[in-house]
């Protein structure tokens, strides 16, 4: 989480030092054991928030404004969930062995890189050069492999394109063309969008500024516990 927010801070805060509002900056949660949290208030009125404890990671992005001695955050409405074609990786074939009599034509993995997640229960459909299709579900490693077949119409058939769908989340299939001469393993990125609830919809912080040091104290309507304090670095 911290590495990602640092990159966001460089974009939002690095335009012009504290231009537009003297509250802009990068804030860290103080004094809470086993919880890490950061808040970036950008000079353009945008914010990024991250919270991590145990195996739980939450985030939110949106707009912020100052209202007297309060800072109010409003999270963006998330986009629809969807897929995009990621990197080609023949290393995915390693999970299926190298039997020459039963080769794997294509291995597909579904991931969300920014959340460091792999997805099971994704429905993968492969369309072959013979016009037929075969489908399966990804396992716990986010993988599904399509083995070559030699029976009947499958003799010599290659995969021309694949679709990915998430039935459990009512996310419709999206199709991607595949070059069978170049691609044996491919990663598909899944952006959960509206399926992943943000850390909060709105949040407010009380502002205290003393001698150039700014502290934001979380109010009861925000993520975490009221009274949590974030200090600007």
Residues 174, 210, single domain; the answer is no
pTM comes to 0.70
Report the CATH number at residue 164: 2.60.40.10
pLDDT of 98: 65
Residues 52, 154, single domain; the answer is no
What length does the chain have? Answer: 233
Residues 186, 144, single domain; the answer is yes
Residues 104, 68, single domain; the answer is no
Report the CATH number at residue 218: 2.40.128.300
Residues 40, 96, single domain; the answer is no
Residues 88, 190, single domain; the answer is yes
pLDDT of 188: 98
- What 3 state SS string does 117-179 have? EECCCCEEEEEECCCCEEEEECCCCCEEEEECCCCHHHCCCCEEEEEEEEHHHCEEEEEEECC
The string of pLDDT tens digits covering residues 43-52 is 999 999 999 9
Residues 62, 136, single domain; the answer is no
Number of separate domains in the chain:
2
CA atoms within 13 A on the CB side of 162: 33
Spans of the chain below 70 pLDDT: 1-21, 98-100
Residues 149, 163, single domain; the answer is yes
Residues 181, 99, single domain; the answer is yes
Residues 185, 89, single domain; the answer is yes
> Containing domain of residue 97, as a range?
82-194
Residue 91 has phi, psi (to 5 degrees) of -65, -20
The string of pLDDT tens digits covering residues 121-173 is 999 999 999 999 999 999 999 999 999 999 999 999 999 999 999 999 999 99
Residues 163, 189, single domain; the answer is yes
Residues 87, 68, single domain; the answer is no
């Amino acid at each position: 989480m911290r590495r990602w927010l640092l990159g966001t801070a460089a974009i939002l805060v690095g335009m012009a030092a504290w231009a537009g509002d003297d509250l802009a900056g990068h804030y860290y949660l103080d004094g809470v054991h086993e919880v890490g949290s950061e808040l970036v208030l950008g000079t353009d009125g945008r914010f990024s928030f991250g919270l991590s404890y145990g195996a739980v990671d939450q985030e939110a992005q949106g707009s912020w404004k100052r209202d007297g001695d309060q800072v109010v955050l409003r999270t963006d409405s998330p986009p629809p969930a969807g897929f995009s074609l990621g990197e080609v990786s023949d290393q995915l074939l390693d999970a299926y062995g190298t039997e020459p009599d039963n080769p794997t034509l294509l291995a597909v993995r579904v991931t969300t890189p920014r959340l460091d997640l792999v997805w099971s229960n994704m429905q993968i459909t492969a369309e072959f050069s013979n016009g037929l299709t075969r489908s399966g579900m990804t396992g716990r490693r986010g993988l599904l492999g399509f083995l070559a077949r030699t029976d009947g119409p499958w003799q010599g058939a290659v995969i021309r394109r694949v679709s990915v769908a998430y039935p459990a989340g009512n996310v419709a299939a999206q199709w991607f063309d595949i070059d069978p001469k170049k691609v044996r393993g491919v990663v598909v990125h899944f952006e959960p969008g509206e399926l992943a609830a943000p850390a909060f919809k709105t949040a407010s912080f009380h502002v205290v500024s003393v001698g150039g040091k700014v502290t934001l104290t979380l109010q009861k309507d925000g993520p975490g516990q009221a009274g949590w304090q974030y200090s600007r670095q």
